[in-house]
């Protein structure tokens, strides 16, 4: 159905008119998101005492960036490195596995006709709507029955499921993998698995990267699930570990180490910022995939 | 206070135990069966504990205290057959949530666990802790101050041993008082006058900070003689408008409504900053505070002093604020050994000396009256013998206080009710009434019979 385009809003899409209002909104938004980062950068150069006696968006008298860096990695026999390793493990196995499963399942649902497909569709859509936080406690009790709490599996297994990723690949595969191509491959005698791994997966690449980025960000930032599942700090990811450092400032016998919490936070966001910058063009193309019907 | 036999009481509270996990964590989940296992092998004497320590084994200990690591190392050296796995499972609420979840799940709880006094009734009355009187722990009563012993026991049942204590005192920044030309207050009326003078002398300086803290408020009500929470079996009485509570609100309302307390949350980085630079001039807080000041507010060195807590009528009166002990869980597979570790941890001279070195304030009467302890004169406090003041506070704790059997939940919703009164600078009595209504409703829903 063709809707008439609004005449007054018609502009040359390649040379849009500059909007002052929009510019101001974007500048305010950029400041809003960047100021905490700038604060974090400046604060990472300060000692515990310097943090309390200096302005947040400038250096303190003592610059202790290297000291903080060394202390962060050496505090409590280098537990920070252990947490970093745990986070990497959860990301590689959890997010990697989630991406693989979402890709295969989404592709299968998009390209094969079988009974119950509609039911699966409804369940997946429903699952997208349920926040993971709401499922954390039931999941805990379930895992407790299985004797898996306080093990890395308790974090990895729930991370493997990404209904949103599955849905995205499903939509993406419907649009970008022509059924004719699959039929041609079948006629040439390729099995379904071979078709998937040699033909389809290449066409799905932008979608896969998008899902990977989503799941990597989600597992990297995962906080509530590991908080509930794990009681042994040796298995904590960075998020829960940093919170424990922060909580050291509370109550009798408190030992505030805000300088290490801040340095640790800075180190924690760097990899995710790099991943995002490198992969964001895929993210954009993946997000718009399927938005225009050709 | 009357007591039902502990057995009957536990059974009556079983439903509550199952529901609590849902309340503390976010999601609601249905009530199931509770972790059983009150039956514990023990021949009713301390010999069983000594035999277990000799035989050895492995136990897990949850704690966030800074002295735990050194204490465990010293213990393992003295008892080489015993291995203690020390786990920091989180600080206060976070640990309680995990413990409650483990109790609900029936496994995953440690053998020995650190619990603050306010949280003891919640776990003790729901069959989570071993009654240590079967190992003769009742004999240790005289080793601890009356208020801390009272916090870990219920009638004849002994649910743990106290570690630190927090009799309240007035910590004040002498430099700020000198600059404003104000004398150190001994009564709450003088405290109010000092608050006005300090804020007038320097608009950035406040007598103290308070944004609505359940632990502080309950301790202040305690000092004023209030007894808002009474428990008798499954019958709970809540009266947050009793005479003592009203004495406190009358005192504190004027400070809050006139904007004389700094709107800074305790334990935030802003708070430590304020303690260091003099913008928060006093703290009425537990005796465990000196170590925190030294490590968290090094800039305040030399300026801080300690005085007795201000009173309403000139009669010395204090209350416990914070502090806690350790307990043995009913999930422990070797409760005699766990009890042995607990006994060493909170009753042996060696362990207590490690605890004192880390800056803790003891609950043991021997230490509180020892010459060495009382004569300590830290430079941070200008060479003042602060422990004399603090130990004196321990002797002046008002008797008769008890917490709710669901105080962890109660404290978690304090901000939603009384905290609102703080924020809007309205009558604290209204906030307390809201808190009471919410607590009555919650208690009834958990199977208690709650009277107002």
CB proximity list for B406: less than 8 A, separation 6 or greater: B16, B20, B122, B439, B442, B443, B446, B448
Is A131 found in the same domain as A263? yes
Is A167 found in the same domain as A38? no
**Domain residues for A279?**
78-288
Please list every residue in chain B whose beta carbon sits closer than 8 Å to the beta carbon of residue A141.
29, 104-105
CB contact B101 to A (< 8 Å): yes
ipTM of the complex: 0.77
Q: What is the mean pLDDT of the segment spanning A206-226?
A: 91
Are B296 and A250 in contact (CB < 8 Å)? Answer: no
Q: Please count the residue pairs, one from chain A and one from chain B, whose beta carbons lie less than 8 angstroms apart.
A: 122
Cα–Cα distance, B395 to B317 (Å, whole number) = 9
Would the pLDDT of B229 be above 60? Answer: yes
Would the pLDDT of B296 be above 50? Answer: yes
Nearest CA in chain B to A138: B29
Is A131 found in the same domain as A188? yes
Long-range contacts of B174-183 (CB under 8 A, 24+ apart): B174/B303, B174/B304, B174/B305, B174/B382, B175/B278, B175/B303, B176/B202, B176/B205, B176/B278, B176/B281, B176/B303, B177/B281, B180/B205
Q: pLDDT tens for residues B181-228?
A: 999 999 999 999 999 999 999 999 999 999 999 999 999 999 999 999
Is A284 found in the same domain as A152? yes
| Residue A15 lies inside a defined structural domain of this protein | no
pLDDT of B351 reads 97
- Bridge pairing between strands B157-158 and B153-154: antiparallel
Is A262 found in the same domain as A138? yes
CATH 3.40.190.10 boundaries in chain B: 6-165+323-368, 168-319+399-451
Q: What is the mean pLDDT of the segment spanning A113-140?
A: 87
Are B27 and A138 in contact (CB < 8 Å)? Answer: yes
Would the pLDDT of B3 be above 60? Answer: no
The answer to whether residues B155 and B292 touch, using CB atoms and an 8 Å cutoff, is no
Write out the CATH class of domain B168-319+399-451: alpha beta
| Residue A72 lies inside a defined structural domain of this protein | no
pLDDT of A14 reads 64
Nearest CA in chain B to A241: B90
pLDDT level of residue B171 (50, 70, 90 thresholds): very high
| Residue A10 lies inside a defined structural domain of this protein | no
Task: Point out the least confidently predicted range of A81-90, A173-182, B50-59.
Answer: A173-182
Could you say which of B88, B299, B359 has the minimum Cβ distance to residue A244?
A: B88
Are B27 and A134 in contact (CB < 8 Å)? Answer: yes
Residue B45 is classified by DSSP as S
Could you say which of B27, B108, B288 has the minimum Cβ distance to residue A253?
A: B288
Could you say which of A147, A247, A256 has the minimum Cβ distance to residue B296?
A: A256
| Residue A190 lies inside a defined structural domain of this protein | yes
Instruction: Calculate helix-pair angle for B414-424, B428-445, nearest 10 degrees.
Output: 170
Cα–Cα distance, B127 to B35 (Å, whole number) = 8
pLDDT of B11 reads 42
**CATH of residue A134:** 1.10.3720.10
Phi then psi for residue B413, to 5 deg, are -105, 5
| Partners of B161 in beta bridges | B326
pLDDT of B43 reads 59
| Residue A6 lies inside a defined structural domain of this protein | no
Greater model confidence, B250 or A133: B250
pLDDT level of residue A288 (50, 70, 90 thresholds): low
Q: What is the total count of domains within chain A?
A: 2
| Partners of B84 in beta bridges | B59
Q: pLDDT tens for residues B98-135?
A: 999 999 888 899 999 999 999 999 999 888 999 999 99
CB contact A53 to B (< 8 Å): yes
pLDDT level of residue A15 (50, 70, 90 thresholds): low
Question: 0.80 exceeded by the pTM?
Answer: yes
Could you say which of B92, B164, B272 has the minimum Cβ distance to residue A256?
A: B272
Would the pLDDT of B161 be above 50? Answer: yes
Is A118 found in the same domain as A46? no
Strand (E) or helix (H) holding B57? strand B57-62
Could you say which of A140, A149, A249 has the minimum Cβ distance to residue B296?
A: A249
* Chain A nearest CA to B232, separation (Å): 30
CB contact B361 to A (< 8 Å): yes
Is A25 found in the same domain as A124? no
CB proximity list for A242: less than 8 A, separation 6 or greater: A83, A261, A264, A265, A268
Is A230 found in the same domain as A124? yes
Mean pLDDT of chain A: 88
pLDDT of A98 reads 97
Nearest CA in chain A to B98: A228
* Chain B nearest CA to A146, separation (Å): 11
Would the pLDDT of B390 be above 70? Answer: yes
pLDDT level of residue B53 (50, 70, 90 thresholds): very high
| Last residue in a domain, options A37, A63, A89 | A63
pLDDT of A136 reads 84
Write out the CATH class of domain B6-165+323-368: alpha beta
CB contact B142 to A (< 8 Å): no
CB contact A138 to B (< 8 Å): yes
pLDDT of B24 reads 39
């Amino acid at each position: 159905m063709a809707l008439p385009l609004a005449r007054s809003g018609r502009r040359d899409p390649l040379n849009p008119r500059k909007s002052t209002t929009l510019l101001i909104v974007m500048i305010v938004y950029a400041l809003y998101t960047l100021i905490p980062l700038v604060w974090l950068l400046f604060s990472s150069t300060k000692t515990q005492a310097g943090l309390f006696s200096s302005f947040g968006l400038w250096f303190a008298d003592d610059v202790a960036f290297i000291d903080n860096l060394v202390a962060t990695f050496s505090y409590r026999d280098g537990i920070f490195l252990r947490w970093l390793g745990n986070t990497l493990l959860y990301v590689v196995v959890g997010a990697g596995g989630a991406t693989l499963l979402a890709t295969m399942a989404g592709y299968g649902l998009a390209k094969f006709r079988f009974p119950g497909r509609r039911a699966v569709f409804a369940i997946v859509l429903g699952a997208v709507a349920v926040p993971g936080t709401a499922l954390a406690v039931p999941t805990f009790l379930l895992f407790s029955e299985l004797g898996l709490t306080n093990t890395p599996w308790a974090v990895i297994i729930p991370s493997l499921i990404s209904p949103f990723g599955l849905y995205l690949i499903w939509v993406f595969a419907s649009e970008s993998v022509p059924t004719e191509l699959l039929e041609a491959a079948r006629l040439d005698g390729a099995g379904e698995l071979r078709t998937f791994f040699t033909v389809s997966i290449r066409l799905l690449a932008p979608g896969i990267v998008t899902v990977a980025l989503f799941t990597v960000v989600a597992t990297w930032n995962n906080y509530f699930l590991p908080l509930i599942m794990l009681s042994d700090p040796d298995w904590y990811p960075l998020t829960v570990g940093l919170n424990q450092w922060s909580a050291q400032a509370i109550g009798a016998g408190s030992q505030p180490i805000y300088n290490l919490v801040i340095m640790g936070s800075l180190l924690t966001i760097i990899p995710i910022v790099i991943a995002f910058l490198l992969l964001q063009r895929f993210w954009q193309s993946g997000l718009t995939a399927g938005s225009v019907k050709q | 206070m009357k007591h039902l036999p502990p057995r009957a009481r536990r059974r009556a509270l079983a439903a509550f135990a199952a529901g609590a996990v849902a309340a503390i964590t976010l999601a609601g989940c249905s009530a199931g069966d509770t972790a059983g296992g009150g039956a514990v092998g023990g021949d009713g004497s301390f010999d069983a504990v000594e035999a277990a320590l000799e035989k050895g084994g492995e136990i897990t200990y949850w704690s966030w205290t800074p002295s735990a690591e050194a204490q465990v190392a010293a213990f393992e050296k003295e008892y080489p057959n015993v291995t203690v796995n020390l786990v920091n499972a989180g600080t206060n609420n976070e640990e309680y949530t995990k413990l409650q979840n483990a109790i609900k799940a029936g496994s995953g709880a440690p053998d020995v666990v650190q619990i603050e006094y306010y949280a003891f009734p919640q776990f003790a009355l729901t069959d989570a802790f071993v009654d240590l009187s079967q190992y003769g722990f009742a004999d240790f009563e005289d080793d601890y101050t009356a208020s801390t012993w009272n916090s870990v026991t219920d009638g004849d049942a002994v649910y743990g041993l106290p570690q630190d204590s927090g009799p309240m005192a007035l910590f004040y920044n002498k430099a700020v008082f000198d600059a404003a030309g104000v004398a150190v207050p001994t009564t709450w009326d003088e405290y109010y006058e000092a608050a006005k003078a300090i804020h007038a002398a320097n608009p950035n300086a406040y007598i103290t900070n308070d944004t609505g803290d359940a632990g502080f408020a309950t301790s202040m009500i305690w000092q004023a003689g209030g007894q808002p929470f009474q428990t008798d079996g499954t019958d709970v009485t809540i009266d947050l408008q009793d005479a003592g509570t009203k004495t406190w609100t009358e005192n504190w309302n004027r400070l809050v409504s006139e904007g004389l307390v700094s709107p800074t949350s305790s334990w935030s980085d802003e708070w430590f900053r304020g303690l260091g630079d003099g913008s928060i001039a006093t703290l009425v807080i537990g005796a465990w505070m000196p170590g925190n000041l030294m490590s968290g507010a090094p800039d305040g060195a030399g300026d801080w002093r300690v005085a007795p807590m201000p009173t309403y009528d000139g009669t010395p009166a204090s209350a416990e604020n914070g502090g806690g002990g350790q307990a043995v869980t009913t999930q422990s597979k070797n409760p005699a050994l766990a009890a042995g570790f607990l006994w060493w941890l909170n009753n042996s001279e060696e362990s207590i000396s490690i605890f004192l070195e880390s800056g803790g304030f003891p609950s043991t009467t021997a230490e509180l009256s020892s010459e060495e302890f009382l004569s300590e004169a830290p430079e941070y406090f200008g060479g003042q013998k602060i422990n004399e003041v603090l130990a004196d506070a321990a002797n002046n704790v008002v008797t008769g206080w008890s917490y709710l059997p669901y105080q962890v939940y109660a404290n978690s919703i304090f901000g939603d009710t009384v905290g609102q009164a703080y924020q809007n600078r309205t009558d604290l009595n209204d906030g307390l009434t809201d808190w009471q209504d919410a607590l009555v409703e919650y208690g009834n829903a958990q199977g208690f019979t709650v009277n107002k």
